[in-house]
Amino acid sequence: MTVSPPAEVLDPATDVPLSVALRTGTRDDHAAAERSAFVEHLVGGTLPLAGYVDLAAQQHAVYTALEAAGDRLVAAGTDGGLVFSELVRVPAIEADLAHLLGDDWRAQVRELPATTAYVARLAEVGDDLPRYAAHAYTRYLGDLSGGQVLKRMIERHHGLSGAGVSFYDFPQIHRLKPFKDVYRERLDALALTPAQRDEVVEEARVAFRLNRALFADLAEAHVR
Ligand code: HEM
């Protein structure tokens, strides 16, 4: 009689690595995010500056929650090598908002409902490394990829350079491509069963949906 082995972690020889599963599993969500009205107006130069400033304000709340979760994982010694100081965005967003709105920026911004929902999800799942990984992947690899396109477009359309768009600058990362490769290697090194890998992909799809909902709220406020 053969006894089935216990659920094993991913076998690199036979199983799809997490980074590949994430890319393929979120391809449609990515295309939908790129096509959202808010992003199209941001890229096309038809979004008023106030819309970009509001995006920064919402991102402040989101990254505060994401990076607090990362800090808790580091403190617990369970961050799986996925929390990088080079990626931390909150100080850059605060500098951008101070540049764009002045030192009293906190009194001028408010949280949109989709942001509140996104922050709540991060608080709910962020202490669990696989699900933290899903959210960190969705934001940071996006910022290191399409974010660089967005930066050039925002600078061009709103006459900004550096100050106000430092969110998209990673001064401690000299070459983005090798850094992204290391990030993907860290994802692939997480000890996950195939079922857990699929759960990470599902949570990344949740993260994309939360981003789309945020873009929808921002579009309602700023796209005419
Ligand atoms: C105009 C908007 C966007 C453009 C032009 C864009 C473009 C790109 C490009 C060219 C890549 C591939 C980079 C590479 O292979 O190294 C990429 C990857 C990625 N983008 Fe976007 N993107 C946009 C919006 C977004 C948004 C809104 C999100 C999520 C909130 C996002 C999340 C990601 C992620 C997670 C990856 C990594 C995919 C992977 O290799 O696993 N992107 N993006």
**Residue range 18-25: average pLDDT?**
98
The tokens for 17 are 């690595």
Cβ(212) – ligand 1 distance below 6 Å: no
The pLDDT mean for the chain works out to: 96
- Looking at the chain, the whole-number percentage of residues with pLDDT higher than 90 is 94
Extents of the domains making up the chain: 18-222
Angle, CA of 134, 169 and 109, to the nearest 5°: 75
Q: What is the structure's pLDDT at 7?
A: 66
Q: Which of 1-15, 87-101, 128-142 shows the lowest per-residue confidence on average (mean pLDDT)? A: 1-15
- pLDDT, one tens digit per residue, over 140-160 is 999 999 999 999 999 999 999
- Band of the pLDDT at 5, cuts 50, 70, 90? low
Residue from 16, 82, 115, 145 to probe ligand 1 pocket by mutation (most atoms less than 8 Å from CB): 145
Q: What is the structure's pLDDT at 8?
A: 86
Non-local (6+) Cβ contacts of 57 within 8 A are 97, 105, 109, 110, 111
The tokens for 193 are 């069963």
User: What is the residue with the minimal CA distance to atom 34 of ligand 1?
Assistant: 142
Residue with the two structure tokens 């061009």: 156
Is residue 161's pLDDT more than 60?
A: yes
Q: What is the structure's pLDDT at 133?
A: 98
Residue 179 and residue 173 in contact, taking contact as beta carbons nearer than 8 Å: yes
Residue 146 Cα to ligand 1 middle (Å): 4
Phi then psi for residue 161, to 5 deg, are: -155, 120
User: What is the residue with the minimal CA distance to atom 35 of ligand 1?
Assistant: 138
Q: What is the structure's pLDDT at 224?
A: 87
Cβ(205) – ligand 1 distance below 6 Å: no
Half-sphere exposure of 112 (CA within 13 A, CB side): 25
Q: What is the structure's pLDDT at 218?
A: 98
Is residue 3's pLDDT more than 60?
A: no
- Band of the pLDDT at 42, cuts 50, 70, 90? very high
**Residue range 178-182: average pLDDT?**
98
pTM, to two decimals: 0.94
Residue with the two structure tokens 């660089």: 148
**Residue range 18-40: average pLDDT?**
98
Is residue 4's pLDDT more than 70?
A: no
Residue 6 Cα to ligand 1 middle (Å): 36
- Band of the pLDDT at 118, cuts 50, 70, 90? very high
Assigned CATH for 18-222: 1.20.910.10
**How many Cβ atoms sit within 10 Å of the Cβ of residue 76?**
10
